[in-house]
Amino acid sequence: MLELSRVVLGRALYDYVETPAFEDTELFARGVGESTDVVQKEMFTFEDKAGRSLTLRPEGTASICRAYVEHGMHKRAQPVKVWYWGPFFRHEAPQAGRFRQFAQVGAEVLGTDEPTADAELILLLAELLDAAGCREVRLRVSSLGNPATRSAYRAELREWLRPRESELSEPVRARLDLNPLRAFDSDDPGTQAVMAEAPTLLDRLTDEDAAHFAEVRALLDSAGLEYGVDPGLVRGLDYYTRTVFEFESGVLGAQAALGGGGRYDGLVELLGGPPTPGVGWAAGIERILLAADPPEDTGGDDGQRIFVAVAKPERRAEAFELVSELRGRLVEADLDHTTRSLKGQLKQADRVGAHYTVIMGETTEFKDMRTGDQREMAVADVLKKFGDG
Ligand code: AMP
Protein backbone atom coordinates (compact mmCIF):
# COMPACT_ATOMS: atom_id res chain seq x y z
CA MET A 1 0.00 0.00 0.00
CA LEU A 2 2.85 2.36 0.81
CA GLU A 3 4.42 1.72 -2.59
CA LEU A 4 1.06 2.07 -4.31
CA SER A 5 0.44 5.40 -2.56
CA ARG A 6 3.87 6.64 -3.58
CA VAL A 7 3.18 5.76 -7.21
CA VAL A 8 -0.39 7.13 -7.41
CA LEU A 9 0.29 10.36 -5.46
CA GLY A 10 3.82 10.87 -6.76
CA ARG A 11 2.49 10.76 -10.32
CA ALA A 12 0.26 13.73 -9.46
CA LEU A 13 3.31 15.61 -8.06
CA TYR A 14 2.47 15.31 -4.36
CA ASP A 15 5.55 15.47 -2.08
CA TYR A 16 5.92 13.05 0.82
CA VAL A 17 6.06 14.66 4.27
CA GLU A 18 6.34 13.32 7.80
CA THR A 19 5.08 15.09 10.91
CA PRO A 20 5.66 14.06 14.55
CA ALA A 21 3.58 11.33 16.19
CA PHE A 22 2.52 13.76 18.92
CA GLU A 23 1.85 17.49 19.10
CA ASP A 24 0.63 20.09 21.58
CA THR A 25 -2.88 19.13 22.66
CA GLU A 26 -3.93 22.67 21.78
CA LEU A 27 -3.24 22.07 18.07
CA PHE A 28 -5.85 19.30 17.88
CA ALA A 29 -8.29 21.01 20.24
CA ARG A 30 -8.35 24.01 17.90
CA GLY A 31 -7.60 22.32 14.60
CA VAL A 32 -9.99 19.39 14.89
CA GLY A 33 -12.66 21.18 16.90
CA GLU A 34 -13.84 21.15 20.52
CA SER A 35 -17.26 19.77 19.66
CA THR A 36 -15.97 16.67 17.86
CA ASP A 37 -15.93 13.13 19.22
CA VAL A 38 -12.22 13.00 18.46
CA VAL A 39 -11.39 15.89 20.78
CA GLN A 40 -14.06 15.22 23.40
CA LYS A 41 -13.51 11.50 23.83
CA GLU A 42 -10.85 9.93 21.65
CA MET A 43 -7.51 11.60 22.26
CA PHE A 44 -4.56 9.99 24.03
CA THR A 45 -3.44 13.01 26.01
CA PHE A 46 -0.58 13.11 28.53
CA GLU A 47 1.75 15.54 30.25
CA ASP A 48 5.47 15.68 29.62
CA LYS A 49 8.04 16.29 32.38
CA ALA A 50 7.63 20.04 32.04
CA GLY A 51 3.87 19.73 32.57
CA ARG A 52 2.93 20.51 28.95
CA SER A 53 -0.11 18.76 27.57
CA LEU A 54 0.71 16.59 24.56
CA THR A 55 -1.51 14.36 22.43
CA LEU A 56 -0.77 11.38 20.18
CA ARG A 57 -2.00 12.54 16.80
CA PRO A 58 -5.58 11.44 16.08
CA GLU A 59 -5.49 12.77 12.49
CA GLY A 60 -3.08 14.42 10.07
CA THR A 61 -4.51 17.63 8.68
CA ALA A 62 -3.92 19.89 11.70
CA SER A 63 -0.25 18.84 11.81
CA ILE A 64 0.19 19.48 8.09
CA CYS A 65 -1.30 22.96 8.49
CA ARG A 66 0.95 23.63 11.47
CA ALA A 67 4.00 22.55 9.45
CA TYR A 68 2.85 24.69 6.51
CA VAL A 69 2.79 27.78 8.71
CA GLU A 70 5.84 26.95 10.81
CA HIS A 71 8.06 26.22 7.80
CA GLY A 72 6.89 29.16 5.73
CA MET A 73 5.40 27.00 2.98
CA HIS A 74 2.92 29.80 2.26
CA LYS A 75 5.87 31.68 0.76
CA ARG A 76 6.44 28.95 -1.82
CA ALA A 77 4.70 28.80 -5.19
CA GLN A 78 1.12 27.72 -4.47
CA PRO A 79 -0.47 25.31 -4.23
CA VAL A 80 1.59 23.08 -1.96
CA LYS A 81 0.66 19.42 -2.53
CA VAL A 82 1.75 16.88 0.05
CA TRP A 83 0.97 13.34 1.12
CA TYR A 84 1.72 11.47 4.32
CA TRP A 85 1.58 8.00 5.81
CA GLY A 86 1.92 6.78 9.37
CA PRO A 87 0.38 5.69 12.66
CA PHE A 88 -2.55 7.55 14.24
CA PHE A 89 -4.17 7.04 17.63
CA ARG A 90 -7.74 7.24 18.89
CA HIS A 91 -9.11 6.11 22.22
CA GLU A 92 -12.10 4.18 20.84
CA ALA A 93 -13.60 0.83 21.77
CA PRO A 94 -11.68 -1.60 19.54
CA GLN A 95 -13.76 -3.75 17.18
CA ALA A 96 -13.48 -5.15 13.67
CA GLY A 97 -11.89 -2.41 11.55
CA ARG A 98 -11.51 -0.05 14.48
CA PHE A 99 -8.26 0.09 16.40
CA ARG A 100 -6.60 2.39 18.91
CA GLN A 101 -3.55 2.61 16.72
CA PHE A 102 -4.13 2.50 12.98
CA ALA A 103 -2.32 3.62 9.84
CA GLN A 104 -3.51 6.33 7.53
CA VAL A 105 -2.43 7.59 4.16
CA GLY A 106 -3.46 11.17 3.50
CA ALA A 107 -3.08 13.91 0.90
CA GLU A 108 -3.56 17.66 1.18
CA VAL A 109 -3.51 20.61 -1.23
CA LEU A 110 -2.92 24.00 0.38
CA GLY A 111 -3.09 27.41 -1.25
CA THR A 112 -5.87 27.08 -3.83
CA ASP A 113 -9.65 27.07 -3.70
CA GLU A 114 -10.06 25.92 -7.29
CA PRO A 115 -12.52 23.02 -7.71
CA THR A 116 -9.88 21.16 -9.75
CA ALA A 117 -7.96 20.57 -6.50
CA ASP A 118 -11.04 19.03 -4.83
CA ALA A 119 -11.77 16.86 -7.87
CA GLU A 120 -8.15 15.79 -8.29
CA LEU A 121 -7.97 14.63 -4.67
CA ILE A 122 -11.24 12.69 -4.90
CA LEU A 123 -10.10 11.00 -8.12
CA LEU A 124 -6.73 10.12 -6.60
CA LEU A 125 -8.34 8.41 -3.62
CA ALA A 126 -10.71 6.58 -5.97
CA GLU A 127 -7.70 5.44 -7.99
CA LEU A 128 -5.81 4.33 -4.90
CA LEU A 129 -8.76 2.31 -3.58
CA ASP A 130 -9.26 0.74 -6.98
CA ALA A 131 -5.57 -0.10 -7.35
CA ALA A 132 -5.64 -1.64 -3.86
CA GLY A 133 -8.45 -3.92 -5.02
CA CYS A 134 -11.13 -2.60 -2.65
CA ARG A 135 -14.52 -4.17 -3.29
CA GLU A 136 -17.96 -2.54 -3.45
CA VAL A 137 -16.63 0.98 -3.11
CA ARG A 138 -19.20 3.79 -2.90
CA LEU A 139 -18.54 7.51 -2.89
CA ARG A 140 -20.75 10.17 -1.31
CA VAL A 141 -20.14 13.87 -1.79
CA SER A 142 -21.70 17.02 -0.44
CA SER A 143 -20.95 20.66 0.31
CA LEU A 144 -21.02 22.34 3.71
CA GLY A 145 -20.86 25.87 2.29
CA ASN A 146 -19.09 28.60 4.25
CA PRO A 147 -19.04 29.24 8.01
CA ALA A 148 -21.73 31.96 7.86
CA THR A 149 -24.18 29.80 5.90
CA ARG A 150 -23.41 26.93 8.17
CA SER A 151 -23.96 28.79 11.39
CA ALA A 152 -27.27 30.24 10.12
CA TYR A 153 -28.28 26.75 9.03
CA ARG A 154 -27.16 25.27 12.36
CA ALA A 155 -29.46 27.71 14.17
CA GLU A 156 -32.30 26.90 11.77
CA LEU A 157 -31.80 23.16 12.25
CA ARG A 158 -31.63 23.49 16.03
CA GLU A 159 -34.94 25.31 16.07
CA TRP A 160 -36.44 22.78 13.69
CA LEU A 161 -35.25 19.87 15.88
CA ARG A 162 -36.32 21.29 19.21
CA PRO A 163 -40.04 20.38 18.97
CA ARG A 164 -38.96 16.88 17.78
CA GLU A 165 -36.45 16.38 20.59
CA SER A 166 -38.31 13.44 22.14
CA GLU A 167 -37.85 11.42 18.94
CA LEU A 168 -34.06 11.89 18.95
CA SER A 169 -31.48 9.60 20.52
CA GLU A 170 -29.88 10.64 23.80
CA PRO A 171 -26.37 11.46 22.39
CA VAL A 172 -27.92 13.61 19.65
CA ARG A 173 -30.08 15.46 22.19
CA ALA A 174 -27.02 16.06 24.36
CA ARG A 175 -25.20 17.71 21.47
CA LEU A 176 -28.14 19.63 20.08
CA ASP A 177 -26.73 22.97 21.20
CA LEU A 178 -23.10 22.29 20.38
CA ASN A 179 -23.50 20.63 17.00
CA PRO A 180 -26.98 19.71 15.74
CA LEU A 181 -25.53 18.71 12.34
CA ARG A 182 -24.15 15.57 13.90
CA ALA A 183 -27.74 14.29 14.10
CA PHE A 184 -27.31 13.37 10.40
CA ASP A 185 -24.51 10.98 11.42
CA SER A 186 -26.63 9.05 13.91
CA ASP A 187 -27.41 5.38 13.36
CA ASP A 188 -30.42 5.51 15.66
CA PRO A 189 -33.56 4.69 13.59
CA GLY A 190 -35.74 7.27 15.38
CA THR A 191 -33.20 10.03 14.76
CA GLN A 192 -32.76 8.90 11.16
CA ALA A 193 -36.50 9.12 10.54
CA VAL A 194 -36.55 12.68 11.85
CA MET A 195 -33.49 13.70 9.84
CA ALA A 196 -34.95 12.37 6.59
CA GLU A 197 -37.48 15.23 6.82
CA ALA A 198 -35.05 17.92 7.99
CA PRO A 199 -34.11 20.97 5.90
CA THR A 200 -30.67 20.48 4.29
CA LEU A 201 -27.62 22.69 4.16
CA LEU A 202 -27.30 22.01 0.42
CA ASP A 203 -30.51 23.98 -0.11
CA ARG A 204 -29.06 26.95 1.77
CA LEU A 205 -25.70 27.35 -0.04
CA THR A 206 -24.73 30.76 -1.40
CA ASP A 207 -24.56 31.04 -5.20
CA GLU A 208 -20.76 31.01 -5.04
CA ASP A 209 -20.58 27.88 -2.92
CA ALA A 210 -23.24 26.15 -5.01
CA ALA A 211 -21.25 26.98 -8.18
CA HIS A 212 -18.07 25.60 -6.60
CA PHE A 213 -19.87 22.36 -5.75
CA ALA A 214 -21.36 22.13 -9.24
CA GLU A 215 -17.89 22.49 -10.77
CA VAL A 216 -16.44 19.76 -8.57
CA ARG A 217 -19.27 17.44 -9.62
CA ALA A 218 -18.85 18.33 -13.30
CA LEU A 219 -15.16 17.41 -13.10
CA LEU A 220 -16.00 14.08 -11.44
CA ASP A 221 -18.68 13.46 -14.07
CA SER A 222 -16.32 14.09 -16.95
CA ALA A 223 -13.79 11.75 -15.33
CA GLY A 224 -16.51 9.09 -15.28
CA LEU A 225 -16.44 8.63 -11.51
CA GLU A 226 -19.70 7.48 -9.94
CA TYR A 227 -20.92 9.09 -6.73
CA GLY A 228 -24.05 9.98 -4.84
CA VAL A 229 -24.85 13.44 -3.49
CA ASP A 230 -25.72 13.02 0.18
CA PRO A 231 -27.00 16.22 1.85
CA GLY A 232 -26.68 14.51 5.23
CA LEU A 233 -22.97 13.79 4.86
CA VAL A 234 -21.33 15.32 7.91
CA ARG A 235 -17.70 14.51 8.42
CA GLY A 236 -16.55 14.06 12.01
CA LEU A 237 -14.23 17.05 12.07
CA ASP A 238 -15.36 20.63 12.71
CA TYR A 239 -13.26 22.55 10.25
CA TYR A 240 -14.71 21.54 6.89
CA THR A 241 -16.06 24.10 4.41
CA ARG A 242 -17.56 23.50 0.98
CA THR A 243 -16.68 20.06 -0.43
CA VAL A 244 -16.90 16.98 1.80
CA PHE A 245 -16.70 13.37 0.64
CA GLU A 246 -16.46 9.86 1.95
CA PHE A 247 -15.63 6.50 0.40
CA GLU A 248 -17.18 3.37 1.91
CA SER A 249 -16.99 -0.32 1.16
CA GLY A 250 -20.04 -2.57 1.18
CA VAL A 251 -17.99 -5.51 2.48
CA LEU A 252 -16.84 -3.86 5.73
CA GLY A 253 -19.90 -4.04 7.98
CA ALA A 254 -20.34 -1.45 10.73
CA GLN A 255 -17.01 0.35 10.22
CA ALA A 256 -17.58 0.92 6.50
CA ALA A 257 -15.64 4.16 5.94
CA LEU A 258 -12.48 3.64 3.91
CA GLY A 259 -11.48 7.26 3.80
CA GLY A 260 -12.72 10.73 3.24
CA GLY A 261 -12.04 14.39 3.61
CA GLY A 262 -12.97 17.77 2.36
CA ARG A 263 -12.12 21.42 2.07
CA TYR A 264 -11.01 23.42 5.10
CA ASP A 265 -10.56 26.98 3.91
CA GLY A 266 -10.36 28.54 7.38
CA LEU A 267 -8.06 26.10 9.13
CA VAL A 268 -4.61 27.51 8.37
CA GLU A 269 -5.72 30.94 9.54
CA LEU A 270 -7.30 29.44 12.65
CA LEU A 271 -3.91 27.93 13.46
CA GLY A 272 -2.15 31.27 13.18
CA GLY A 273 -1.20 31.35 9.49
CA PRO A 274 -2.27 33.64 6.67
CA PRO A 275 -5.72 33.02 5.14
CA THR A 276 -5.11 29.90 3.05
CA PRO A 277 -7.62 27.59 1.44
CA GLY A 278 -6.98 23.86 1.76
CA VAL A 279 -8.48 20.52 0.84
CA GLY A 280 -7.47 16.95 1.62
CA TRP A 281 -8.35 13.42 2.66
CA ALA A 282 -7.19 10.56 4.83
CA ALA A 283 -7.81 6.85 4.36
CA GLY A 284 -7.41 3.94 6.77
CA ILE A 285 -4.89 1.34 5.63
CA GLU A 286 -6.30 -1.54 7.72
CA ARG A 287 -9.80 -0.90 6.37
CA ILE A 288 -8.46 -0.78 2.80
CA LEU A 289 -6.76 -4.14 3.31
CA LEU A 290 -9.91 -5.61 4.89
CA ALA A 291 -11.99 -4.41 1.92
CA ALA A 292 -9.53 -5.68 -0.69
CA ASP A 293 -9.27 -9.11 -2.25
CA PRO A 294 -6.73 -11.16 -0.31
CA PRO A 295 -3.29 -10.52 -1.76
CA GLU A 296 -1.45 -13.24 -3.62
CA ASP A 297 2.23 -13.34 -2.95
CA THR A 298 3.50 -15.06 -6.05
CA GLY A 299 6.29 -12.63 -6.74
CA GLY A 300 4.52 -11.98 -10.04
CA ASP A 301 4.08 -14.33 -12.99
CA ASP A 302 7.20 -13.27 -14.81
CA GLY A 303 9.29 -12.84 -11.66
CA GLN A 304 12.64 -14.37 -10.85
CA ARG A 305 12.32 -15.16 -7.19
CA ILE A 306 14.81 -17.78 -6.06
CA PHE A 307 14.83 -19.96 -2.97
CA VAL A 308 17.97 -21.81 -1.97
CA ALA A 309 17.41 -25.07 -0.13
CA VAL A 310 20.24 -26.70 1.80
CA ALA A 311 20.15 -30.50 1.74
CA LYS A 312 23.68 -30.87 3.08
CA PRO A 313 24.49 -28.77 6.17
CA GLU A 314 28.14 -28.29 5.09
CA ARG A 315 26.91 -26.25 2.13
CA ARG A 316 25.01 -23.71 4.24
CA ALA A 317 27.75 -21.04 4.00
CA GLU A 318 27.88 -21.55 0.23
CA ALA A 319 24.08 -21.14 0.05
CA PHE A 320 24.36 -17.95 2.08
CA GLU A 321 26.95 -16.59 -0.34
CA LEU A 322 24.86 -17.53 -3.40
CA VAL A 323 21.86 -15.66 -2.00
CA SER A 324 24.00 -12.55 -1.38
CA GLU A 325 25.36 -12.74 -4.93
CA LEU A 326 21.85 -13.06 -6.38
CA ARG A 327 20.56 -10.11 -4.36
CA GLY A 328 23.56 -8.14 -5.63
CA ARG A 329 22.26 -8.87 -9.14
CA LEU A 330 18.89 -7.43 -8.03
CA VAL A 331 17.23 -10.85 -8.02
CA GLU A 332 14.82 -11.59 -5.15
CA ALA A 333 16.39 -14.44 -3.22
CA ASP A 334 16.33 -16.16 0.14
CA LEU A 335 17.67 -19.31 1.73
CA ASP A 336 16.11 -21.53 4.31
CA HIS A 337 17.08 -20.19 7.71
CA THR A 338 15.95 -23.32 9.57
CA THR A 339 17.17 -26.87 9.60
CA ARG A 340 13.94 -28.36 8.27
CA SER A 341 13.94 -31.38 5.97
CA LEU A 342 14.42 -30.94 2.23
CA LYS A 343 10.73 -31.66 1.76
CA GLY A 344 9.90 -28.92 4.28
CA GLN A 345 12.25 -26.54 2.50
CA LEU A 346 10.58 -27.15 -0.87
CA LYS A 347 7.23 -26.46 0.76
CA GLN A 348 8.68 -23.22 2.10
CA ALA A 349 9.89 -22.35 -1.42
CA ASP A 350 6.27 -22.70 -2.56
CA ARG A 351 5.00 -20.62 0.35
CA VAL A 352 7.30 -17.70 -0.47
CA GLY A 353 6.30 -17.85 -4.13
CA ALA A 354 9.70 -18.88 -5.49
CA HIS A 355 9.93 -19.32 -9.26
CA TYR A 356 13.12 -21.34 -8.96
CA THR A 357 14.68 -23.38 -6.21
CA VAL A 358 18.37 -24.19 -6.01
CA ILE A 359 18.93 -27.37 -4.01
CA MET A 360 22.39 -27.71 -2.53
CA GLY A 361 23.07 -31.32 -1.64
CA GLU A 362 25.66 -33.78 -2.96
CA THR A 363 25.18 -31.97 -6.25
CA THR A 364 23.57 -28.62 -7.04
CA GLU A 365 20.12 -28.90 -8.61
CA PHE A 366 18.12 -26.15 -10.28
CA LYS A 367 14.36 -26.57 -10.17
CA ASP A 368 11.81 -24.57 -12.15
CA MET A 369 8.88 -24.38 -9.74
CA ARG A 370 6.31 -23.68 -12.49
CA THR A 371 7.18 -26.59 -14.78
CA GLY A 372 8.62 -28.88 -12.10
CA ASP A 373 11.62 -29.39 -14.38
CA GLN A 374 14.77 -30.16 -12.35
CA ARG A 375 18.36 -30.57 -13.52
CA GLU A 376 21.90 -30.38 -12.25
CA MET A 377 23.55 -26.96 -12.58
CA ALA A 378 26.83 -25.64 -11.20
CA VAL A 379 26.55 -22.67 -8.85
CA ALA A 380 28.56 -20.56 -11.33
CA ASP A 381 26.00 -21.38 -14.04
CA VAL A 382 23.10 -20.41 -11.76
CA LEU A 383 24.77 -17.05 -11.31
CA LYS A 384 25.40 -16.70 -15.03
CA LYS A 385 21.73 -17.36 -15.71
CA PHE A 386 20.83 -14.33 -13.64
CA GLY A 387 23.32 -11.84 -15.07
CA ASP A 388 27.02 -11.35 -14.67
CA GLY A 389 26.86 -9.16 -11.59
P1 AMP B 1 -11.53 10.19 9.68
O2 AMP B 1 -10.53 11.30 9.71
O3 AMP B 1 -12.15 9.89 10.98
O4 AMP B 1 -12.50 10.29 8.56
O5 AMP B 1 -10.65 8.90 9.36
C6 AMP B 1 -10.20 8.62 8.06
C7 AMP B 1 -10.15 7.13 7.85
O8 AMP B 1 -9.26 6.54 8.80
C9 AMP B 1 -11.47 6.43 8.09
O10 AMP B 1 -12.25 6.45 6.94
C11 AMP B 1 -11.01 5.03 8.44
O12 AMP B 1 -10.73 4.29 7.27
C13 AMP B 1 -9.73 5.27 9.17
N14 AMP B 1 -9.94 5.23 10.64
C15 AMP B 1 -10.40 6.21 11.44
N16 AMP B 1 -10.43 5.80 12.72
C17 AMP B 1 -9.98 4.53 12.73
C18 AMP B 1 -9.76 3.55 13.76
N19 AMP B 1 -9.99 3.80 15.04
N20 AMP B 1 -9.30 2.33 13.37
C21 AMP B 1 -9.04 2.05 12.09
N22 AMP B 1 -9.21 2.93 11.09
C23 AMP B 1 -9.67 4.16 11.40
First vs last C-alpha separation in the chain: 31
What confidence tens digit (pLDDT) does each residue in 368-380 have?
998 999 999 999 9
What confidence tens digit (pLDDT) does each residue in 231-265 have?
888 766 667 899 999 999 999 988 899 999 999 99
**Amino acid occupying residue 254:** A
C-alpha angle 118-237-92 in degrees, rounded to nearest 5: 130
Share of the chain above pLDDT 70, in %: 96
* pLDDT value for 258: 97
**Amino acid occupying residue 187:** D
Domain boundaries, the chain: 2-145+205-291, 306-385
Per CATH, the number for 306-385 is 3.40.50.800
| Ligand 1 contact via 99 beta carbon (within 6 Å) | yes
188, HSE (Cβ side, Cα atoms, 13 Å): 16
Tell the residue nearest (CA) to atom 18 of ligand 1. Answer: 98
- Confidence check: pLDDT of 387 > 90: no
What confidence tens digit (pLDDT) does each residue in 211-222 have?
999 999 999 999
The torsion angles phi and psi of 231, rounded to 5 degrees, stand at -65, -20
* pLDDT value for 357: 96
Task: Give the residue, out of 32, 98, 289, with the most ligand 1 atoms within 8 A of its beta carbon, to mutate for a pocket test.
Answer: 98
pTM assigned to the model: 0.83
- Confidence check: pLDDT of 268 > 90: yes
| Ligand 1 contact via 257 beta carbon (within 6 Å) | yes
Task: Tell me the CA–centroid distance for residue 284 and ligand 1, in Å.
Answer: 5
Task: Give the residue, out of 90, 239, 245, 288, with the most ligand 1 atoms within 8 A of its beta carbon, to mutate for a pocket test.
Answer: 90
Higher pLDDT, 240 or 364: 364
Helical axes 61-70 vs 25-32, angle rounded to 10°: 110
| Ligand 1 contact via 258 beta carbon (within 6 Å) | yes
Higher pLDDT, 302 or 46: 46
Per CATH, the number for 2-145+205-291 is 3.30.930.10
| Ligand 1 contact via 92 beta carbon (within 6 Å) | yes
Closest CA to 213 of 124, 293, 145, 117: 145
Closest CA to 19 of 84, 111, 95: 84
- Confidence check: pLDDT of 388 > 70: no
Chain-centroid distance of CA 198 in Å reads: 32
Task: Tell me the CA–centroid distance for residue 300 and ligand 1, in Å.
Answer: 31
| CB distance 285 to 268 below 8 Å | no
